[in-house]
Amino acid sequence: MTRIVGIGMGRDSCARALAVADAHPEVYAAIGVHPNSAEEWRDDDVAWLTKFAAHPKVVAIGECGMDFYRDRATPDQQEHAFRAQIAVARETGLPLVIHTRDADAATLAILGDTADGLEVILHCFSMVDRVDEVIERGWYASFAGPLTYKANDALRGAAARMPADRILVETDSPYLAPVPRRGKPNQPAYVADTLAILADVRGLDIDACDELTTANAARVFAW
């Protein structure tokens, strides 16, 4: 693991993500508007998003999607912003990084309508009840700190079932620190703790799992 994707969640944070990527050769950026900020979305935001997407260090659109856990934006606002960003991904040829929380059915319905032929990465994967559909559609599942939590046997089962060429590992820092660092601010280095659990549930040694997820990231992000 030698490269990092910094995630934009709105225009200002996307600009910061690009500045960090410019300053560090190992850092790249994904740019988008988070569903919790979808009430701020305006149709002319497509222009700045498309402009940012042309930056050579931008490797994905997102994180974008649907979130019914928090009510900072209405479902209609979230869907409008989500569909617009899917269209940008299609126009630019970039993969989509998807945020979904308590909104699996809505997220999958929108992706089913609009994302055919696009590379889709389900960030902080949690769709344990829809894993068959995820596998059928050929999407990527990216596993974060919750994979290490004691109660998440179903999530580990999903990680074991995903095709080898469709698994990724992430931190979602500064959130969701893995065991044994749970409750502390997360950081990119802690991805090693999640990788160790992913390797275990896949029946791999850590180095092999590292090589596999690194190769998958290189393919989907085209770096």
Q: What is the pLDDT of residue 165?
A: 98
User: What is the 8-class DSSP label of residue 44?
Assistant: T
Mean pLDDT for the stretch of residues 99-125: 97
Domain end among 74, 107, 140: 107
Domain end among 107, 133, 168: 107
Q: How many domains is the chain built from?
A: 2
| SS3 of 25-59 | CCEEEEECCCHHHHHHCCCCHHHHHHHHHCCCCEE
Q: How confident is the model at residue 158 (pLDDT cuts 50, 70, 90)?
A: very high
Is the residue at 115 inside a domain?
A: no
Residues 79 and 178 in one domain: no
Domain end among 39, 73, 107: 107
Distance CA 105, CA 165 (A): 25
Is the residue at 51 inside a domain?
A: yes
DSSP characters over 73-125: S-HHHHHHHHHHHHHHHHHHT--EEEEEES-HHHHHHHHHHH-TTS-EEETT-
Residues 79 and 177 in one domain: no
Residues 189 and 221 in one domain: yes
Q: What is the pLDDT of residue 1?
A: 64
Q: pLDDT tens-digit profile of 23-44?
A: 999 999 999 999 999 999 999 9
Residues 45 and 96 in one domain: yes
Q: Token pair of 98, please?
A: 């998807």
Is the residue at 31 inside a domain?
A: yes
Residues 159 and 81 in one domain: no
pLDDT at residue 208 is higher than 80: yes
**Residue-number span of the structural domain to which 103 is assigned:** 1-107
Residues 103 and 132 in one domain: no
Residues 75 and 131 in one domain: no
CATH number of the domain enclosing 17: 3.20.20.140
Give me the chain's average pLDDT, please.
Answer: 97
Is the residue at 170 inside a domain?
A: yes
Residues 88 and 11 in one domain: yes
Residues 147 and 77 in one domain: no
User: Cβ(107)–Cβ(65) under 8 Å?
Assistant: yes
Is the residue at 25 inside a domain?
A: yes
